[in-house]
Amino acid sequence: IEWYTDAVQRMRLMPTLTGQTVNGYTGLNLSGHLGLGGPVPTRPLAYIHINSNGSHFAGYRPWMRVGTFMSENNDGMYVGTKREDDDRIDAVLNWFDNDQDSPGVGPDALRFIFTRASSGSSVAAGDDGLEMARLIPVPNGNEGYFGIGDFFTPGLQPAERLDVLNGRVRIRQLPTDPAANTLNRFMVVDNTGVVKWRYLPPSSTTNCDWEMNTGGHLLTTAWRPAGTNGNCPDANWKVGIGTASPQFKMEVIDVEDDSIPTIGGLRVDLRTNHLGWRYGVKSYLEPKHGGVKLAYGAAVQGDIVNAGLDGPGNADAYGVLGRSTTNEDLYLRSSMGVTGTAINSSGTINELLGGDFFGANTGGTVTATYGVRGRAYSNIAGAKCYGVHGTAPVDTNSWAGYFQGKVRATNYMMASMYYTYSDASIKAGVENIEQADVSAKLAALVPRRYHFTPEAQERFGLPAGEQFGFLAQEVEGVFPELVVVSRMPEESDSAGTVIYPEMEVKG
C-alpha cells in the first residue's frame, strides 16, 4: 500500500516480503514494514522506518525489526527491542555508522540535549540547546566513552570511559558505607583530572601532624604534654584554619572570595540516640587553679556586625539563635529555644541574672526597641500560653515581675492585690481637695457601654463583647491630668508591607 500527496510518495506499507538480503544478511523477513519519509525507503528495515535521503545502511543488523529505524544519509538510529532468547527481550537504543574521529564525518555521537524557550541568553535557549551528556565510539570499534556535561559548546569530545567535563561527582551512599580499613590503594587524580590509584606514600604514614587511633576511632593532634613530642604538635600548639597566627586553641578565619562563597565558619551536625545529655557544641570555661584570677569570661559569645541590605527588604541579624523543634510523636518535659542559668553557692555577687537582654538604638532609625520580647502560641484551645512567665518568693523584696517605667496591658490584667506608691515621704505639695469640687467633676463623667472595633481587637489584643467604662476624650475634659497619649508605632509584615499604620491612642 502506498500513500501520496502532491504526486509524491510519502509512505509505503510492505506486503509479505520474505527471504530478503540486506548488507549480506540473508533470509530476512521484511513483511508488514511501514516506511515513510523522503524518499520513502524501498524496503523498510523495521516495523517503522523513517528515512531522510538515506541510501547506505551499514549499521543495520537483522535483529532491528520490532522498533523504529531512522536513517539519514549514511547514518541512522534504531529504538526498539533485541531478542536474545525465547523469554529475554532487551530494550535497545542503537545508532550508527561512523566511529572514526574526522571533522564533518564522525565519530557519530548519542547526545542528550535539553532545549527551552528561545528567549534569553542561556545555552538551553540557543538553537543547539544544552547538551547534558554524550556517548561516542572509539575508532577501534571495541569500546566507547561516556561524557557528562556540555561537550558541544567548547567543541570537545569525551576521552575516557567516564569523562565529566565540569562539576563534581557525588556518591551519596559512600559516606555511610563501612570503612575499608584493610585496603591500601588510594584514588588520586592527575593534573588533567584523570582518576588513577596509588599506594599511600610512606611520608603520609610517618607525618606527625595528626595521630590515628584506629582501635578507638580517634584522630587527634596538639594534646601530648608540652616538650614530650619533639617537633610534632603538643599541648602548647594552637590549631589555625584560614590563619597563620591563631590566638585560640582552635581558630577558624575565612574572608571569603566573592566567587567562592562560604555559608559558615564551623558546622556541627550530630545524629545520635541516647537517654543521657548530648551536645551539638559544648563550651567550658574555668580559671586555672593557682594562676591569675579570671576577671571576665563568656562560655559562648556571638557577635554579628553590619548584617543587612543596602535598601529596603527582608534581613535579620541574630547574635545568638537557638531553636528546639519537635515534629514527631515524642514526649518532653520541656522544650526551650534558649535557656540561661546563673547559680551562686559561696561567692559575693552584686547581681545574679539568669538572663540579661538589652536593646539600644544609639543613632540609627529603629521602629521599635525591645529589651525582651516574649511571644507564645498554641493551636490547642484552652492551653496555657505565657508570653512572659516569672516566679519569685512571696516576701517583701521579691517580685515575679519588676518594671521601671510605664506598663501597658491591652487585655485583661488579673492580680489578687494592687499597690501604688503612696508613702508621704516621697510626696511634696500635698493639698486638700474640696469635696464639692470632686463631687461635681465625678458627676460630669458619663459611664458608657461599648464594643472595641475589630481592628483594635486584632492589633491590641482587646477583648470582644460588651464593655463598660469611660471615653478618654470625655474624661480629659474633666480630669485632663488623668489622660495620657500613647503613640503606637507602625507595624509591618516580613515583606515590609505596612499592616498597622502609626497612630496615637488616649487612655
Q: Select the more confidently predicted residue: 342 or 288.
A: 342
pLDDT, mean over the chain? 88
Q: What is the pLDDT of residues 124-174, one digit of tens each?
A: 999 999 999 999 999 888 999 999 999 999 999 999 999 999 999 999 999
- What's the pLDDT at 203? 45
- What's the pLDDT at 291? 65
- What single string gives the DSSP state of each residue in 135-202? EEE-TTSS-EEEEES--TTTT----SSEEE-SS----TTGGGSPP-TT--EEEEE-TT--EEEEEPPH
Confidence (pTM): 0.48
Indicate whether 201 pLDDT > 60: no
CA atoms within 13 A on the CB side of 258: 0
Give the count of beta carbons closer than 10 Å to the beta carbon of residue 33: 21
User: For the chain, what percent of residues have pLDDT higher than 90?
Assistant: 40
Looking at residues 39-61, what average pLDDT do you find? 92
Q: Which amino acid is at 6?
A: D
Indicate whether 494 pLDDT > 60: yes
Distance separating alpha carbons of residues 443 and 339, to the nearest angstrom: 53
Looking at residues 342-348, what average pLDDT do you find? 90
Which of 124-138, 227-241, 279-293, 312-326 has the weakest average pLDDT? 279-293
Distance separating alpha carbons of residues 136 and 100, to the nearest angstrom: 10
Distance separating alpha carbons of residues 204 and 199, to the nearest angstrom: 11
- What's the pLDDT at 347? 85
- What's the pLDDT at 205? 52
CA atoms within 13 A on the CB side of 173: 2
